[in-house]
Structures are given as structure tokens and as C-alpha cells.
Chains A and B, each alone.
Chain A
Amino acid sequence: MSELDLNDKVSEMLAKSEANVIKSEKTFIHPEDEVREVVAPDGSIIKINPIYDYFSGERPQEEKPRGGIVEKFLNWARSESIWVLGFGTGCGSIEIPPLVTPRFDMFRFGIQMRPTPRQSNAFIISGYLSVKTLKRVIRTYEQMPAPKYVIALGSCTINGGMYYDSYSTINRLDKYIPVDVYIAGCMPRPEALIAGFVKLKELIKEGKAEKANEYARNFDEYKANQKKIIKDWSMPDYNW
């Protein structure tokens, strides 16, 4: 295949992936992320789209559980091996470090911290979530492989808590990403967090923790909610 053909094919694929995503009227793109044409070292002109060149523009698909004994076994394995993304979003993140200390020791329950979203399957939203952080949370959540679980820690994630009338924080987390387990309190102690993990384990074992599929099913609704509140939306619609 010649280089020109390859270029055509790439731009065709690019157009296809752009057509798949929902266009919002109020989309804001940073100037450095705009689609533009650049001259390659060999003199040919190529079109680049910084946002989509590095991400898949495809919508998330629902991944149906296998069912039967295999799924039961896998659900057991998932519940006994919860890898938590180390991403503190609010003041509640101070309650997470005690979990690795001798007093609480979450490793007993098969809960471990992972530093990268690619390898984690549980995401703790620890307390209030500012709009600026919400954008990062969405990017991170979408990069995690399914099945993935969200634990909302503290009252702020349920109704805004003490920040209910703040200009910069969100009130209800589950309008933006689906939540599996809520842990109420301001702030809940590490014991409460462990109780939340135990609840999450029960849900996974019963096969009820399928919120990643719910996110894929109601993708348009979630995206509309997210775009309503994030003004500087300068990222792909789906951040694989």
C-alpha cells in the first residue's frame, strides 16, 4: 500500500470515528487541540486532529456477562481482587492511606492499590468533586477496563454535603458517572470504607455490579449531563 493510500485510509477512518461521536453545540476546543493541516518532512500535507489521533472515537459497547458457572467463578475472582485506583479527589482521600496501615490492613480482603487506571477496577471518589476534577475523573473512569466499579465516599457525592451551594463543585455524582456503592458520612472512617468494600464484594458476587454496562447503555444521557457542567470540554467524547 502506498503512502498516499494509507493517508486516505487514515483520514477516512478519522472521518468515520468523528461521525460516531455526538456533537455538542457548546463544545470548546483549546487552540492547540484544533484540527489543522501540517507539512510533513517529505513535503506532503497531512491533516491532524490532536484529540482523536491518540484516542479511539468509538462509543463504548455493552459487554454482556458470559453467564453460567464461568461468570460466577469470574465474579468471585473479581470480588476477591479489587484493585483500587490511587486518585484522591477531595478531602476524603485522607481516609484511604490508613487502609494500608497495620490497624486496618485492606490487603487481607484482597484490596490493593494500583497507580494506573488501565490496571484498576475500582475508583473511589473521595468526597467533594470540583468541576475541574470531574473532567479528569471522566477521562480516568473511561480508561479503566470493564467491569469497573465506583465507590462514592462521603456525603458530598450524594447531595453536595457542606458544599451543596458551591459554585465549583457538583452535587450528585451519579448524574455524571454510575456509582455502585455510597458510603455516607462526613468523613466516614476507614472502617466504613472497608464496610463499603465488603458491600461491593457482595454486589459483585451476586452479579449486580454491572454499572459499566449501564454507562454504555445510557452513554448519551451521561455525556449530555457532563457537557452541561464542564465548560472547557477539550477532549474526545470517549477517552479510551
Chain B
Amino acid sequence: MNIYVKLAYTFLGLMIVLNWGMLMGATMRKIGARVAGRHGIPFKQPWIDLFKNIGVRTTITHGIMYYIGPVFRLTGGVGLFLFMPAVFSGSPYGIWTNFSFEGDLILILYFQVFGMLGMALGAGEGGHPYAAMGIARGLAQHAAVELPLTLAFLSIAIQYDTFSVYKIVEAQQGGFQNWVLFTNPFAAAAVILAMLGALGHSPFNLVKAPNEILIGPATEYEGSYLGFMQSAGAIIHVMEAMLFMNLVFGGATNWFELILKTFLIYFWSVFVGIVFPRFKIEQSVTWFFKVPLLLGVLAILMYSF
């Protein structure tokens, strides 16, 4: 396929993912509101917030890294989309496999952290003490989440003998009994538990806890920087859900399936978040080091002997 056509399709896919991420975020907030007995925000609220933020007239600056932080975060989200197959079409050169290549799982693991580190640098330059506190908590929790998650990913990679997300999706085709959820239950369980931390909802949302430490790393961000971060957040949420969908839940063969599966995966973290109150950071870190880590180690041991 012509590279320009491919780029155009990838850009279109990115736009779909961005808008789906915003709609999904609004839907989840609406669900939370309904549980509390409220009507909640209108579905169009994320778009209005985005336009409002772009229309802010005065902005401040704290230096170059302060500008680059949100760009890093958006790069992390877009990078995840670029190098991960979105819709499985039976051919590695299909329209929606994007720029997926052999060994993209390693790159995706890297991109997961990339946005967060960029934000840490940007918010660090903002100089606000609450931002620094949010970063410290965010990185501590992320380290605890990454350990079981990486062990589970490695187990899946050993199981299928490949680091290509496309091949892992391909191996799971032909019915739900072929999903990693059933062929490698320990890895799937580790992913399902660790995913709660990766998606960052309650009980694992102390990083941006509005009542305890303001809004976390984004304390000093305003206007279009905040708009940037909002769009990046919407993309990253879909991307995280898409990564777990590809690795554990059999991938998607069309956009409808992708939207349904990402919705259910994201809903799982919102469901847990509505039921359970927020953890303190030491509680959440120790929680990830117990059952999810044990499951991750078991998943590795299962395929090591």
C-alpha cells in the first residue's frame, strides 16, 4: 500500500480513537453520576472543555520542559496507536494494522512509560510542590503496576514465541476459547488486576486525587497545554484498553468489536472504582506486590519449564 494512503488511514484511525476516548470518558463519568443518583455531565462536555481550554487568552510559562511535557504525553499516546494493530484483518499489511512490526511489544511497553516520564519532567519544571508530590506517587505506583504487567506480557510472549502484537492477536483467532484469557489464565488474571492500576481509576487514582493533593502533576497546567493533556488522556485510555484487548481478549476484527471490547475493559476499572474507595499510595503499592505479582510470577513459571 502507498505510504501516504497508509498515513491517511492511520490519521483517520487516530481521530476515531480520540473521539471515542472522549465519548467513553464522558460515558463513564455519566455512569458514575447515575450511581450517585445524579444526571452528571452532558455527553458533549469533553469537547466543550477542550474548545474552552484552547480559547484561553493568557498563559504562563515555566520553561521549555513545561511546554514539552504535554507533547511527550501526547507522543506516548499517538506512539501506542502507531505501532499497535488496531483491527485484525488477516494480513500484517492490512489497513488498520498501522505501523505494527515484529517486536512492537517492547516498544509499546516503552511508550507506556514515555508519556508519564514526559509529564513528570514538565510538571517538575512547573515547580509546584503538589505537582512534585503527584509525580512521586505516580511513578511509585507505576513501578508497582509495571512489574506484574511486564511479567504477564513476557509470559504471553513466551507462550506464543513472539514479541509481535499482531502475531499474538493472530494466534488468538478462531473463537473465544483461543483467547489468552483461557489459554494462559495466570497471565490474564495478572493483567486484569494490574490493568486497574494502569487505567488509573479509583482505588488507584491517588496520583491525581483532587481532594488530597490538588490535581497532581497537572497543577500548574492551563489553557491549551491542559487541552493537549486532555486529548492525550483520551487517546491513552483507549490505547491501554486496546493493548489489553489485543494481548488477552483476542483483539478485534472490526471497529465495532474494538469499541465494544475497549468499553468493557475500561468499564471494568470504572466498576471497581465506583465500588471501592481510594487507596493510599503505600496501600496500592503493596496491593500490586501481593496477588498480581504472584500471578505474574506463576504465569512466567508455567511457561519456563
Residues of A near any B CB (own CB < 8 A) = 54, 56, 60, 63, 73-74, 77-78, 80-81, 101-102, 105, 107-108, 110, 112-116, 118-119, 121, 145-147, 212, 240
Contacts and interface: CB of A to CB of B under 8 A. Distances in A.
B221 A119 contact: yes
Nearest to A73: B51
Contact of A240 (B33, B37, B60): B60
B158 interface: no
Contact of A105 (B38, B214, B218): B38
Chain B at the A interface: SS class: loop
B109 interface: no
B48 A107 contact: no
B58 interface: yes
Nearest to B56: A145
Interface in B45-64: 45, 48-49, 51-52, 55-60
Contacts of A78: 52, 55
Given A105-B39, A115-B210, A77 B55 contact: yes
Nearest to B29: A107
A11 to B, nearest CB: 19
Contacts of A113: 210
Given A63-B57, A77-B55, A107-B33, A118 B222 contact: yes
Interface of B: 33, 36-42, 45, 48-49, 51-52, 55-60, 127, 210-211, 214-215, 218-223, 226
Contacts of B51: 73-74, 77, 81
A110 B38 CA distance: 13
Contacts of A108: 38-42
Contacts of B33: 105, 107
B130 to A, nearest CB: 8
Contact of A110 (B41, B56, B59, B226): B41
26 contacts: A60-B58, A63-B58, A73-B51, A77-B48, A78-B52, A80-B45, A102-B38, A105-B33, A107-B40, A107-B41, A108-B38, A108-B39, A108-B42, A110-B42, A112-B41, A115-B211, A116-B215, A118-B60, A119-B226, A145-B56, A145-B57, A145-B223, A146-B58, A147-B56, A212-B57, A240-B60
B215 A114 contact: yes
Contacts of B39: 105, 107-108
Contacts of B221: 118-119
A142 to B, nearest CB: 10
Contacts of B210: 113, 115
Contacts of A147: 56-57
Nearest to A147: B57
A70 B214 CA distance: 32
A145 B58 contact: yes
Given A107-B41, A145-B222, A119 B215 contact: yes
Nearest to A240: B60
A115 B60 contact: no
Nearest to B210: A115
A119 B59 CA distance: 11
B219 to A, nearest CB: 5
Contacts of B226: 119
B124 to A, nearest CB: 15
Contacts of A112: 41
